[in-house]
Amino acid sequence: MKKSKVFVVIILLLLSTKAPAAALPEPPVPGCQNLEAKPAKPIHLRGKIFGTYLPDGKRYNKLSEPAAPDYFEVGMLDLDRPGSPIKRLTFDAVHDAEVRVSPDGKKILWSVRPALDLFDGDNTIVMANTDMSERTVIAHGDSKYLGIPSFFKPGGEKVMFSSQGEGDKVAKLQVVDLATMEISEFKHRFKGPISDPQMSRDGKKIAFKSQDPKDEDVVHIYVMNANGTGVKKLTKLDYRDEDPAFSPDGRTIAFERMYGMTDHKGQNPNDYFFGEGIVSVDIATGKETKLTEPDVCGKNELWLPTWSPDGELIMFTRGLHLENGEFTHDLWVMRKNGQDLQRVPNSDGMMFIDWVN
C-alpha cells in the first residue's frame, strides 16, 4: 500500500474513533465563608448603636495580656450620620463590655472586667447617662461573675443580671431597684442554671439560656413570664444556643448558635475556631429559621444579635479570626428573614451592642 493511502486510512480511523469523555470537574472543596461575596440590596440604617469597641488597633490576641490601647471602651455609632466614626464614651484602662440602653434611650448599662474573657475576677456593672454623666456602680462582685445586664422593660426602673460566685452551684438572677439601689434575688420556678436574661419590650416575658443537665456543652434557649412562672423550652437540638434577643413585638427571639468546633486553625495551636450562626425562633410555635450559615472554616463567628427599633432588621457581631492568632470585630446587618446581609460601615472593632432610635 502506498504511503498516501496509509495516511488516509489512519486519519479515517482517528475520525471514526469516539473520543473519551472529558473528566468531570472535581466538586468544589468547601472554603472559608466570604460574606462580602453575597449580593445584597443596600439597607438604609437609622438610629444609634451603643456598644464596646477597640478605639485603636481594632485587633487583639486572646492569648496575650491586654495593654493600652488594647482595652475595650464604650462607644456610639451614629447611623443617622453616614460616614461618621465611632464616638468614644469611656477612657478607662479596663475592659468595658455588654452594653445595654434603657427603654427611654437616656441611660446605658455595661459590664467592667479586668480582662475581656476573664469571668472569675472582679466584675462590676455600671450605669450612666448616654453622655457619660452621673456614672454609678450598681453592682460589684469580688471574684464573682456578673452576667449581661438588662433593663426591666417597659419602664426600665430595675436592672436584672445573673450572678455566680465560687460557692454557687448555679447562677442566681439578681434585680437592682434603681430608685433605692437595693439588690434582691429574682424568684422563679426554673431549677437549672440561668444566664443571659433579657426582658421583652412589653415587660411580659424573660428569655434566658441554660445548660442541658445531661451535657454541659449543650445550651438551650428558654422563655418565662415576668413573674418567674410558665417556663417554656424553645430550642431542643444539641447545640450551644446563646444570647437571646426579643423582637420588638415580642413574638420572635434571635440568638446565636454554636454548631461545634471546625477543622480550621490559625498559627497558634491554642486558638480554637467554632462554627457559629444566627437563628431565630417563633415563641408561639417553636419554629426555627436559620438566618445565616455557619462558616465551615470557623474564621467568621457570627453572634450577639440585636434588633432594629422597628423590628425589621437584625444586626450582629462578626468576629474574624486571622491566621496570626489575632481577632477583630465588626458589625453586619440583614433583614429579619436573613436577606441582604451586609457590613455596617465604620463599625470596625465593635461588639456587645444595643440599637436605639
Residue 103 covered by a domain: yes
Please say if the pLDDT value at position 7 is more than 50. no
CA distance 283 to 297: 31
Please say if the pLDDT value at position 29 is more than 70. no
Question: Given this model, what pLDDT does residue 251 score?
Answer: 97
From 2-16, 115-129, 234-248, the region with the lowest mean pLDDT: 2-16
Question: Given this model, what pLDDT does residue 321 score?
Answer: 81
pLDDT in tens, 109-142: 999 987 666 556 678 999 999 999 999 999 998 7
CATH of the domain at 297: 2.120.10.30
Question: Given this model, what pLDDT does residue 120 score?
Answer: 61
Please say if the pLDDT value at position 314 is more than 60. yes
Domain housing 114: 35-356
| Higher-scoring residue by pLDDT: 249, 326 | 249
Residue 351 covered by a domain: yes
Residue 19 covered by a domain: no
Question: Given this model, what pLDDT does residue 136 score?
Answer: 95
Question: Given this model, what pLDDT does residue 261 score?
Answer: 87
CA distance 305 to 217: 21
Burial class (CB in 10 A: 0-12, 13-18, 19+), 221: buried
Question: Given this model, what pLDDT does residue 242 score?
Answer: 96
| Higher-scoring residue by pLDDT: 103, 5 | 103
Take residue 119 and report the three cell numbers written for it.
469571668
Whether 81 and 45 have beta carbons less than 8 Å apart is answered as: no
Question: Given this model, what pLDDT does residue 56 score?
Answer: 74
CA distance 81 to 320: 26
Beta pairing, strands 313-321 & 300-307: antiparallel
Which are the contacts of 307, defined by CB distance < 8 A and separation ≥ 6?
Answer: 245, 246, 247, 248, 254, 313, 314, 315, 336, 355
Residue 291 covered by a domain: yes
CA distance 87 to 161: 27
From 69-78, 196-205, 235-244, 345-354, the region with the lowest mean pLDDT: 69-78
Number of domains observed in the structure of the chain: 1
Please say if the pLDDT value at position 103 is more than 80. yes
pLDDT in tens, 47-96: 999 999 988 766 766 666 655 556 889 999 999 999 999 999 998 878 89
Question: Given this model, what pLDDT does residue 22 score?
Answer: 37
Residue 225 covered by a domain: yes
Quote the DSSP letter at residue 207.
E
Residue 7 covered by a domain: no
Residue 111 covered by a domain: yes
pLDDT band of residue 273 (cuts 50, 70, 90) is confident
CA dihedral 326, 239, 161, 319 (to 10 degrees): 20
Question: Given this model, what pLDDT does residue 34 score?
Answer: 86
Nearest CA to 274 out of 239, 298, 295 is that of 298
Question: Given this model, what pLDDT does residue 36 score?
Answer: 83
Burial class (CB in 10 A: 0-12, 13-18, 19+), 346: middle
Residue 258 covered by a domain: yes
**Over the chain, what is the mean pLDDT?**
85
Question: Given this model, what pLDDT does residue 70 score?
Answer: 62
What value does the mean pLDDT take over residues 172-183? 93
